Amino acid sequence: MRPQRKIGLVLLIMTLILAACGGGQSSNQTGSGSSTSEEKVKLTVWHNFAGDDLRAQTVRSFIDQFAAEHPEVTLDAQAIPTDGYRQRLSTVAAANEMPDVFLVYAGSQSAEFHQANLIQPITEILDAHPEWRDSFLDGAFDPYEFEEGQFYSAPIAMSATSMLFYNKALFEQHNVEVPTTWDELMTAINTFNDNGVTPIALGNKAPWVAQSTIIGAIADRVTGTDWFVNAVAQQGAKFTDPEFIEALGYFKQLVDNNAFQEGANSIDNTQAEQYFIQGNAAMMISGAWTLTNLAASATEEQMKDIEVTVVPAIPEGRGEANTITGGAGGGMALSSRTEGKAKELALELIYTMSGPEAQKAIAESNSMVMYDTEIDESKVTPLYYKAFNLVKSSGITPVYDAYLSAEAAEVINNGLQEIMMGGSVEEVAQRLQDAQARSATP
């Protein structure tokens, strides 16, 4: 009996020792961390510029620049791939362990972080550089001004989500005018269909695509921006109003006239871009990301036929023509737990990553910014240069999912897929109204 019990005891003790060892190690680590913090400030920065594309490299180079200029900072920069970025942030948010500086998206994500007191204003660094602050385009701070005069981030990207890309060669070959009004668009769609060319390429497997690129532009032309803002606030306007039903009706008209290729709901946006660039489709309504993707994958031969313009006007509608849905994109935010010397340096890091030089460099890496800057034509692709100037000369109207609650955005995303599958416009409008009403009046 005795020896066995001894073995058991020994095992138990060994387990405890092992556990103690584990604890000891981790406390050692934190100990050494805090002892060096007297001379060195530790900063963590999280962002999603993890790829090999030009923009990601540009942003990372500014982080490196900051690290080089500030030897007193131990900078822990984590580039997290975009697909998992949102979840990673949500996870650390749940544990209230945000990094000091991190990229937030404009819209519901940053609003939720603000509500949960996870971020603090960066107004002081903006006020310290007034010429920088004033060079942002109109509306750049809209998604980040949670209290009057308090800005929680400065955008380093702009989303322009509804440009009409078209294949000039196909239009010439089939003798079709580039559409500037809805009727002309319908004529173009019918002509292309008669000739066996897909009129509009769409990859709506991830269901935000049709919402982000098409419905925002159509609906704004029909209802006007004011109506949408009221409907989002659920004040004096509802998504069941006749004007919104009409807007969805225009989308249904596209579906009924076979504007999109078959199975658009089961292929993704990149596949649709490939389909379009290979000359299978005459048009594609898409956002600035398509510029980046095409620049990376298409040949020069393919690119020379591609032009870009705005979505056609709807003359009967109340909204303005010549607009593009878009707005401020993501920006760097500051954790509410970062204080003192670390906060000062964190603000400095935000300035390095989103200051005038960074904005110009990002714009010259073929991606849109919400900042008034001149770009060097020779440094960017011709299509991007056209789009950059198109956006500068067009009005900006809201993207639906940037303003709707997360739940309502999900409803309209799936609702558009449903309409594409023959669903009823009124039912989708009703469900969107219900979802938005739930979140507007908690």
Partner 1 sequence: MPTAMRSKGFIAIALLPALLIFLTFVIVPVFWSAYYGFFSWKGFGDATFIGLDNYTEMLKDPVFWRALRNNLILVVSSIIGQVPVALILAILLSKNSFFTRFIRSAVFMPMVLSTVVVGLIWGYIYHPQFGIANYVLELLGLESWTRAWLSDPKVNMLAISIPINWANIGPYMVIFIAALQNISPEIHDAAKIDGSAGWNKLKSITLPMIWGTVVVTIILCISGSLKAFDHVMIMTGGGPARSTELLATYMYNSTFAVYRYGFGSAVSTMIMVISALLIGLNYIITRRKPS
Residues at the contact surface with partner 1, assessed by CB under 8 A: 1, 4-5, 7-8, 11-12, 15, 86-87, 90-91, 93-94, 96, 108, 112-113, 115-116, 118, 204-207, 261-267, 271, 275, 280, 406-407, 410, 414-415, 417-418, 420-421, 423
Long-range contacts of residues 208-212, Cβ cutoff 8 Å, at least 24 apart: 208/401, 208/409, 208/413, 209/269, 210/251, 210/413, 210/416, 210/417, 210/420, 211/400, 211/401, 211/409, 211/412, 211/413, 211/416, 212/161, 212/162, 212/287, 212/325, 212/399, 212/400, 212/401
Nearer to partner 1, 19 or 229 (CB): 19
Q: How far is the CB of 62 from partner 1 (least distance, A)?
A: 29
Nearer to partner 1, 213 or 261 (CB): 261
- Check if the beta carbon of residue 399 is closer than 8 Å to that of residue 327: yes
Q: How far is the CB of 407 from partner 1 (least distance, A)?
A: 5
Q: What DSSP character marks residue 213?
A: I
Nearer to partner 1, 53 or 410 (CB): 410
Nearer to partner 1, 359 or 405 (CB): 405
C-alpha to C-alpha distance for 111 and 99, rounded to whole angstroms? 17
Nearer to partner 1, 267 or 383 (CB): 267
Q: How far is the CB of 432 from partner 1 (least distance, A)?
A: 13
Cα-Cα-Cα-Cα dihedral sign, residues 25, 27, 32, 33: positive
Nearer to partner 1, 207 or 319 (CB): 207
C-alpha to C-alpha distance for 398 and 400, rounded to whole angstroms? 6
Q: How far is the CB of 46 from partner 1 (least distance, A)?
A: 15
Choose among 247, 319, 315, 289: nearest CA to 383: 289
C-alpha to C-alpha distance for 400 and 396, rounded to whole angstroms? 13
C-alpha to C-alpha distance for 330 and 369, rounded to whole angstroms? 10
Give the CA distances from residue 369 to residues 7, 235, 364, in Å, rounded to whole numbers and listed in that order: 68, 32, 10
Nearer to partner 1, 278 or 393 (CB): 278
C-alpha to C-alpha distance for 131 and 402, rounded to whole angstroms? 28
Q: How far is the CB of 108 from partner 1 (least distance, A)?
A: 8
Q: How far is the CB of 185 from partner 1 (least distance, A)?
A: 22
Q: How far is the CB of 265 from partner 1 (least distance, A)?
A: 4
Nearer to partner 1, 202 or 375 (CB): 202
Strand partners, 78: 46
Q: How far is the CB of 271 from partner 1 (least distance, A)?
A: 7
Choose among 203, 360, 372, 369: nearest CA to 288: 369
Nearer to partner 1, 242 or 263 (CB): 263
C-alpha to C-alpha distance for 364 and 360, rounded to whole angstroms? 6
Q: Which residue has the tokens 């056609």?
A: 312
* Angle between the N-to-C axes of helices 356-363 and 54-69, in degrees from 0 to 180, rounded to the nearest 10: 160
